[in-house]
Amino acid sequence: MSDTGTLAGKVAVVTGGASGMGAATVRTFVGAGAVVTLVDWDEAGSQRVAAETGAAMIVGDVGDAGFCDGAVDAVVATHGCVDVLVNCAGVIHRADASGTGGDDWRRVMSVNVDGVFWMSRAAVRHMVPRGSGSIVNFGSIWGGVGAAGVVAYCASKGAVHQITRAMALDHADDGIRINAVAPGEVDTPMLASGRDAAPTAADLAQLAESTIPVRRLAEPDEIARVVLFLASDDASYMTGAIVPVDGGYTAR
């Protein structure tokens, strides 16, 4: 499948588009011909990606339902519709239950779960009357299997998987497809964040060697290309799917 023109003329919104896999998705979608608006709370990062790609940007917090409604409404007011939504915005808190405070828990849930729901709810309101649309959520390997020291993140991604399945069933008759990617270990800023000490390149290489069957980390672009497939008409018979992109991690 060639990326060029895969989303030609489609209007797409990508949350978390200022860095990591979100930024890679913005670049990939623009390369595939989409008209992209990125949504992120990082204004400086958003400006960098927007300047690089020509995407539009909206700065704000997807954990705020009113902001999500306004962001999607603004895209529709400018472009007349929203064809594709990618919910990539996410945060992580690295701790067990005892080390997870109430504010830590609520913030992870606010961005990772509420943000997916609020943005998706806002998008389907505009997609239903048109009888078409595609939503791709970012789940995780840790939405399907557990991991020590990231209880809030695991819980949030499990919720994303279930939102994906439930909304896919709700909107199958509306012509809206809703799927999720479940990335494994990806070389992004989040991988190094929230740790007592930033991992070195050697640390990351050892992580890959010891935990991932293909023995390397994923690059953000490798995840973005799967998102592109799910968003496009090439995946026309897929809805409610959780697609692992994990180098074989969950095959065990």
Closest CA to 121 of 188, 58, 167, 153: 167
Token pair belonging to 151: 């209880």
18/32 Cα distance (integer angstroms): 19
Rg (CA), the chain: 17
Q: Hey, which residues are catalytic here? A: 153
- 61 exposure class (CB count in 10 Å sphere: 0-12, 13-18, 19+): middle
As given in the structure block, the two tokens for residue 42 are 């990082």
pLDDT at residue 99, as a whole number = 97
> What pTM does this model have?
0.94
Locus of tokens 């609020």: 118
What domains does the chain contain, in order, with CATH numbers?
11-243 (3.40.50.720)
Answer whether 191's CB lies under 8 Å from 219's CB: no
> Regarding beta strands 176-183 and 84-87, do their DSSP bridges make them parallel or antiparallel, or are they unpaired?
unpaired
pLDDT by 10s per residue, the chain, length 252: 347 779 999 999 999 999 999 999 999 999 999 999 999 999 999 999 999 999 999 999 999 999 999 999 999 999 999 999 999 999 999 999 999 999 999 999 999 999 999 999 999 999 999 999 999 999 999 999 999 999 999 999 999 999 999 999 999 999 999 999 999 999 887 666 655 667 787 888 888 889 999 999 999 999 999 999 999 999 999 999 999 999 999 998
Q: Please give the helix or strand (H or E) that residue 243 lies within, else none.
A: strand 242-245
Decide: residue 150, CB within 10 A, 0-12 exposed, 13-18 middle, 19+ buried: buried
- Give the integer Cα–Cα distance in Å for 103 and 193: 18
* Distance of alpha carbon 217 from alpha carbon 246, whole angstroms: 9
DSSP for 11-53 reads EEEEETTTSHHHHHHHHHHHHTT-EEEEEES-HHHHHHHHHHH
- Residue (of 21, 19, 38) closest to 140 by Cα position: 21
Q: Apex CA 114: angle with CA 93 and CA 97, to 5°?
A: 30
